[in-house]
Structure formats: structure tokens, C-alpha cells
Amino acid sequence: MLQLTGGAAVVGLAGCTGTQTDDSGGGADSTSTSTEEGSHTEDGGESGHNDEGGHDEAVGAPSDSVDVSMITEDGGYHFEPHVVRVNVGGTVTWTNESGSHSTTAYHPDNDQPQLVPDGAASWDSGLRSEEGATFEHTFETEGVYHYYCTPHESLGMLGSVIVGDPDPHEQVALEDPPADKPETVREKLTELNEIVRTALGDDH
């Protein structure tokens, strides 16, 4: 697992609540840790988010470490950037900038549909409310991962991680959104899928 240092990531969706705990959502192919203070390095994506929840996002090249901010602002809840990209073995660090949030994988271990690669480890930061609290997860399995904020999922606080250079046609996460999810969640997943497909050079 990589330890990240440096400046905070761009403003973004929602943050997490809770105190620092070590919460790794299972699976032998990844490592998750959380700390009280944020630590940051490179950005694997740049994004814009308007008040209507739209996206104007360019995803950068894969890197070994990426920062994501969890933000509450103007009544909105955001991960920023919405989509990031790391190398296989790369680490994403989420920092709670404001509000109370979690970063939680769409994984059966979290009682959610699988929107991560087959065999990939789950993660769940638990709720974080302290400003500057961080959680990091190292991704050892190539593919596309969708995740959400537990208290704000229904409000569209979702994000994605691209690991390596996966074939978009083989990604569970890029299939049609689960039918049993609220329309707001399905719409957000559709938006994220478009961003991810564009980043992977897939024109359908």
C-alpha cells in the first residue's frame, strides 16, 4: 500500500463521518486504511460538477496514487474528482473536506450489487465526520469500480475508479445499472459509465 502525501485534491462530492478506524472491506487483493489527517499526492482525473449534478470531466492517465475529496457544499454532496484512474497496485486516498460521508464499494460484502471486477476486494470506510479524516484503499485487481457514500447514495453521491487499462466490454460495472436502484442512482451510474467509457476509448 502506498502512503500518500501532499496537497488536497480538488473540491468534490461528499465527505465521511466518524472517527479514524481501520476498516478494510475484505478481500486479500487490496489494503484499506484510514487516518485522522489527510495525505495527498497526484490527481488521476480532473472534473467539473454543476449544480444540476452534471459532469464535465477529463480523466487523466493512470498514476500510482490519487486523491479524492468528499465534500458537502451548497446543499450538494460530492466526490471530487468523480472518476479517477490508478495503476494496478495504485492507491486512492479519500479525504473528508466537509460534512459526513463514507466511501463504500458496490460489493456483495456491503449488501450491494456487484459493480466491481470479479474477485476484487471490497472496502468501506465507515462514516466520517471529522474534517481532514482520510481513508485509503489499494487496488490490486484491474478493472472498473463504482462506489458510493452511504448516507447520500440516493442523492447521487457516487464515484468511480479505473484500475489499469481494462477492456470496457468485460466490466461488470459498465453494464446497465441495477434495476432495483432509485432513478437518481441509476442516472448517476449512467453518467459515470459514459465518463469511464470515454476514458477507455470506447465509443460503444
Binding-site residue set for Cu cation:
149, 152, 157
List binding-site positions: 149, 152, 157
Residue 104 has φ and ψ, to the nearest 5°, of: -140, 130
∠ CA 12-142-11, nearest 5°, is 5
Residue among 86, 78, 103 nearest 155 (CA): 78
